[in-house]
Chains A and B, each alone.
Chain A
Amino acid sequence: MSISAEEFKCIRSFVHEHSGILVGDGKEYLVENRLTVLMVQNGCKDFIELHEKLKTDPGPLRAKVIDAMTTNETLWFRDASFFTALSDHIAPALLEKAKRQPKVRVWSAACSTGQEPYSVAMLLDHGRRRMGAGAPPLEKFEILATDISPSAIYMAQAARYSQLAISRGMRPAFLDRYFEKKGMAYEVRPEIRKLVTFKSFNLKESFTSHGSFDFILCRNVLIYFSDDLKRQIYSKLHGALQREGMLAIGASESPRGYTDAFDQVIMGGAAIFRPKSGGVGAASAIAGRAR
């Protein structure tokens, strides 16, 4: 009754072609488990038929298949050393920049259900409070947060987290300061939510409409992609960074072998990447779309 090798191959190549995600060997059960419902509901007797349908009738069915096949696991302050780097090095640098620049722009490029961009927003506010007088106002910061999964984006926008989601990495002091209890859930406070704009966006597409950024987080997503796609995305990330910009990737990831356009800098135990020959000119710093 299990999925055949041919069916698996069809679905796998479809998912890869449209999202860049590589469904690993031995993940047949994942395909079967997540897509059988769509198969039956669309009147298909096997995944080959579903694949045929996908080719001729893309639109909503395609989105459903991609949504079902993406995993958006995430944590607050994912990876301790990265968030040390963020609070002790990156946030202070961005705050300094905000004194000189009209806007400082951050992009969380695979934001999942929002923990990552909200964590950044909280740390920026935290840093601002530590700075005391002379700290730039929060309005100077603009955080764009995108993900391919519409349901993840929806969750992120709702900004409500269960006790369970909160227990995954949220610090008590931050919970008190940045959340309001609403029934059984916790809701991110408006001043933090205001900083973040969410959009669905596929990293396979062109980045040009987003403008350029002072800091980009592209963490724990390229791991699902093929080498070729990794190369393309690193190059697009390079193009989207300001000259002094910084790129953060997942703790287990490395751009080595895909690009040599970045210099590695160790901050608070985490590797951060800076564009070698300067990203975009500083003049376009604020050319990015306002909200």
Chain B
Amino acid sequence: MTGIRDKSLRSALITGLDASVQDILATMAWTSVSFEGREVVPDLLLSDGVAGLVRMQGDHEGMVAISTDKPVGMELVSRIIGLPADDLNTEDLLDGVGELANMICGGMKAKAGIGGVQLSSPVAIVGREYSALWKTHLKTEILSYALDKRLFRVHACF
């Protein structure tokens, strides 16, 4: 299996991904984000403070990742579970960011109406300085959102 070449499927997935991000932040984190732009890059390269990654396997292959800085990550997780950000530890943040990635990717699948794709358990990263690289099959599209002037990015690699 390789990346997704079918143009209409790609665009259905990207549209679904955008809707999924808005939906999940609204229903689970009770917040809304503004769309800031879309860019296309060759590979998945993450270097923000926190990231969550989910692998897609089966009829279509790829990866969906989210990344943002630590305060935004904390804020989102704190809103989801309804506890103040100060009460959260690193494990809470890791789990929360992973679960967010999982839900965003699952939501994308549902909204794009694709079947035959399994999702891996999410991988989460928290750290002050790291880079993570994943060689995308075709290319990576990055959707950027702003939450109180801070960036929240979603990377779609397929």
* Interface residue ranges, A against B (CB under 8 Å): 1-2, 28-29, 33, 73, 162-168
Set of chain B residues within 8 Å of A2, measured between Cβ atoms: 113
Taking the nearest CB of chain B, how far is it from the CB of A36, in angstroms?
A: 12
Partner of A164, one of B81, B110, B113: B81
Partner of B115, one of A1, A28, A164: A1
Q: Which residue of B lies closest to A164 (CB)?
A: B82
* Complex Cα gap A73–B27 (Å): 9
Is the CB–CB distance between B82 and A162 below 8 Å?
yes
Set of chain A residues within 8 Å of B10, measured between Cβ atoms: none
Set of chain A residues within 8 Å of B27, measured between Cβ atoms: 73
Is B70 located at the chain interface by the 8 A CB criterion? no
Is the CB–CB distance between B110 and A33 below 8 Å?
yes
Set of chain A residues within 8 Å of B60, measured between Cβ atoms: none
* Complex Cα gap A176–B110 (Å): 42
Q: Tell me the total A-B contact number using a CB cutoff of 8 A.
A: 19
Set of chain B residues within 8 Å of A33, measured between Cβ atoms: 110
* Complex Cα gap A73–B26 (Å): 10
Taking the nearest CB of chain B, how far is it from the CB of A59, in angstroms?
A: 30
Partner of A167, one of B79, B110, B111, B113: B79
Is the CB–CB distance between A168 and B30 below 8 Å?
yes
**Most central of A2, A163, A164, A166 by chain B CB within 10 Å:** A164
Q: Which residue of A lies closest to B19 (CB)?
A: A26
* B76-92 interface code vs A (CB 8 A; 1 in, 0 out): 00010111000000000
Is the CB–CB distance between A167 and B82 below 8 Å?
yes
Taking the nearest CB of chain A, how far is it from the CB of B19, in angstroms?
A: 9
Taking the nearest CB of chain A, how far is it from the CB of B70, in angstroms?
A: 20
Taking the nearest CB of chain B, how far is it from the CB of A108, in angstroms?
A: 21
Is the CB–CB distance between B79 and A29 below 8 Å?
no
* Complex Cα gap A158–B81 (Å): 21
Set of chain B residues within 8 Å of A164, measured between Cβ atoms: 81-82
Q: List 7 A-B contacts (CB under 8 A).
A: A29-B111, A29-B113, A162-B82, A164-B81, A164-B82, A166-B82, A167-B30
Q: Which residue of B lies closest to A168 (CB)?
A: B30
**Most central of B30, B79, B110 by chain A CB within 10 Å:** B30
Is the CB–CB distance between A163 and B82 below 8 Å?
yes
* Complex Cα gap A33–B115 (Å): 14
Is the CB–CB distance between B111 and A163 below 8 Å?
no
* B33-47 interface code vs A (CB 8 A; 1 in, 0 out): 000000000000000
Taking the nearest CB of chain B, how far is it from the CB of A263, in angstroms?
A: 33
6 residue pairs, one from A and one from B, having the closest CB atoms: A164-B82, A163-B82, A2-B113, A1-B115, A167-B82, A29-B110
Interface hits, B129-153 → A, CB 8 Å? none
New A-B pairs, 9, CB < 8 Å, besides A167-B79, A167-B82 = A2-B113, A28-B113, A29-B110, A29-B111, A29-B113, A73-B27, A162-B82, A163-B82, A164-B82
* Complex Cα gap A134–B27 (Å): 44
Interface hits, B14-32 → A, CB 8 Å? 27, 30
